[in-house]
Chain A
Amino acid sequence: MSSSTEHADALAELIAGRIPDARGRFGPFGGRYVPETLIPALDRLEEGVREHLRAPSFQQELAAELSSWVGRPTALTFAGRLSGRWGAKIWLKREDLAHTGAHKINNALGQALLARRLGARRIVAETGAGQHGVASAAACARLGLPCTVYMGAVDMERQAPNVGRMRLLGATVVPVTGGDATLRAAIDEALRDWVSDPLETYYLLGSAVGPHPYPYLVRELQAVIGREARAQIREKTGALPEAVIACVGGGSNSIGMFHAFVPDRDVEIIGVEAGGKGPALGDNAATISHGRPGVLHGTYSLLLQDADGQVQETQSVSAGLDYSGVGPEHAFLAHIGRVRYESAGDQEALDAVRTLCETEGILPALESAHALAGAKRWAERHPGGTVVVCLSGRGDKDMPTLQRTLLKGDQ
């Protein structure tokens, strides 16, 4: 069998809802590579997902909270002046307007509701940009659950506004100084916490990474982004877009955006990773472009690593994309060729922040700015085409970095 037939078959399986399989595999990727201590907790979570996620009572509770507390559906905004500047019709899916300022709340709320049904006594979470930490803290406050957030010391400095927000929202923020002191080390530490109390602590993982069933669970909770966007663009333009674009850190906003469009074979799907300072190992966080298969944080996926299998430190102006791994479903979508992954560098992202501020009056998160940079390139190749960009979050949290970069020299 040729590999293109294999890939077509794999895509058909995915569209039919048979991927991930019972063992949490997306083709060769995924699975569960965790200490035995966590297996009962993952089994219970998997059972909980099966029992609750599609149950009408859970879906009603989630839908009501998404509408009245998160503010969904989020708008789909036509970016007229930006379109004029870049030459294609650019639509923005406004996850920056969701409560707490990013798509992360869709997942945090959904998992917190699930955790409550599973009888969790406390929640632990990791955070990079701080958006998942803020979303978790908010969801836990709303549901009356104690919340501890692990955050790399480097990220606490560059995303300082979010640290204060988490604390105000009642979370305990624990600085992580080990390892690279960014998102990867924060996940290591959250896992260590969970291993110490696997049955009463719920680990609220913030991206489409980690052991099965997290990549699946996070996708299902984020898929609302693409479902809404697909209906909205058809309503507003009468057609599907030619392309959808999202940024890829661990891969949650992107998988949420992409999922509904995967069966639309004429829609080009593009994921944009952090190109950082350049292509050399250690200078970026472009896992799919530069990584090799391996195991990190419980899943077999692509990974930035050296020849000895040691995980590489990464580099990106954006804390939320600064991660050496990527969700296994993205590795799979790249493998079968359904999604194209490219990267945008720090400077391109910063330029996109400035452009969106100037043309549309929107300050995007540095993460989301990578997707905009991808849209700019797409527009050059497809003048007059229609593209939907996932604007995953707002940029207020990035002020310390923006002061040092775009605003350098200003008073």
Chain B
Amino acid sequence: MNAHESITAAIRAANARGEPALVAYLTAGFPSRERFLEDLRQVAEGADVVEIGVPFSDPMADGVTIQRSSRVALSQGVSLGWILGELERMTPRPRAPLLLMSYLNPLLAFGADRLAETARRAGVGGFIVPDLPFDEGEPMRAAFAARGLALVRMVTPVTQPERLRRICADSQGFVYAVTMTGTTGKHVAVPQEVTQYLDAVRALSPVPVCAGFGIRGREQLERLRGHVDGVVIGSALVETLERGADPAAWLRGLRNAER
């Protein structure tokens, strides 16, 4: 199975259990660089897919929580190279597939081909790149495709229908449906427009659809049920780690509430 197929499979497996998949985000090396692999292991226990955030100096799509986690991680010397090195030496690797979420510039600085090769060796299944819109995919897309790695594409409530169709057709692993116009870390109310938009994305997409941005708790998960194949939990989980709470238990708490 290709790396990107294993991501799709993990989401479908959660759906087969009758629940939306949990895609859990943490910023690598936050709150502590030393605890990264341990935090990752715990998050992976409670999640179906894990997104590992590569900190960047200018996180323009992120709200205050991920701005803060990125700044702290950078100040502790976390880099893409360090993250990949840690993942490569991690044994055993988590069962949940891993994605890297990174702004484009650190990826460019690493080099597309070298990145794809190093990521594959480190057990990374694919990438989410918030400042890489559909039309600017190369050369990353080709380098990832050559190694079976996913480039997970994003769609938003303002994406026009024809573009939506093309993005869904191109996305691998899943389609990341941004719930709202805005940065990460807010609280989205999930009104009917949002569920209608998610239904429309799902009708078009050959791969699973996961909703993200602003999803923090049980009530929102309930409202999204039936309209998505998975949800991405970001800032709320980062805040959980920051408080020193057990992330696996926190994620399990979300799940139990789903029933």
Using CB atoms and an 8 Å cutoff, list the residues of chain A in contact with chain B. 23, 31-37, 39-41, 178-179, 184, 188, 191-192, 195-199, 293-298, 303, 305, 307-311
Contacts and interface: CB of A to CB of B under 8 A. Distances in A.
A34 B131 contact: yes
B149 interface: no
B110 A309 contact: yes
Contact of B136 (A33, A199, A294): A33
B109 A35 contact: no
Nearest to A306: B109
A195 B131 contact: no
Contacts, number: 110
A309 B105 contact: yes
A362 B58 CA distance: 38
Contacts of A40: 158-160
Nearest to A313: B57
Nearest to B158: A40
Given A35-B131, A294-B108, A296-B58, 6 more contacts: A23-B135, A33-B104, A33-B131, A188-B60, A293-B108, A296-B105
A309 B109 contact: yes
A298 B57 CA distance: 14
Contacts of A197: 181
Interface residues of B, number: 41
Contacts of B167: 36
B60 A192 contact: yes
Contacts of B79: 308, 310
A303 B109 CA distance: 11
B4 to A, nearest CB: 19
Contacts of B169: none
B220 interface: no
5 contacts: A35-B131, A35-B133, A305-B105, A308-B80, A311-B58
B204 interface: no
Nearest to B61: A35
Given A294-B108, A308-B106, A311-B58, A36 B160 contact: no
A309 B106 contact: yes
Nearest to A294: B105
Interface of B: 56-61, 63, 67, 71, 74, 79-81, 103-110, 130-136, 153-156, 158-160, 163, 167, 178, 181-183
B107 to A, nearest CB: 7
A57 to B, nearest CB: 28
Nearest to B130: A35
Contacts of A311: 57-58, 105
Contacts of B57: 179, 310-311
Contacts of B80: 308-309
Nearest to B79: A308
Contacts of A35: 60-61, 130-131, 133, 154, 156, 178
A343 to B, nearest CB: 22
A199 B182 contact: no
Nearest to B163: A39
Nearest to A293: B108
Contacts of A294: 105, 108-109
A308 B181 contact: no
A36 to B, nearest CB: 5
Contacts of A188: 58-60
A399 to B, nearest CB: 31
Considering the complex of A and B, which 9 residue pairs feature the smallest CB-CB distances, nearest first?
A309-B109, A309-B106, A308-B79, A196-B182, A309-B105, A311-B57, A37-B156, A310-B57, A191-B60
Which of B74, B156, B159 neighbours the largest number of chain A CB atoms within 10 Å of its CB?
B156
Contact of B183 (A39, A196, A295, A298): A196
Given A36-B155, A36-B156, A295-B105, A179 B58 contact: yes
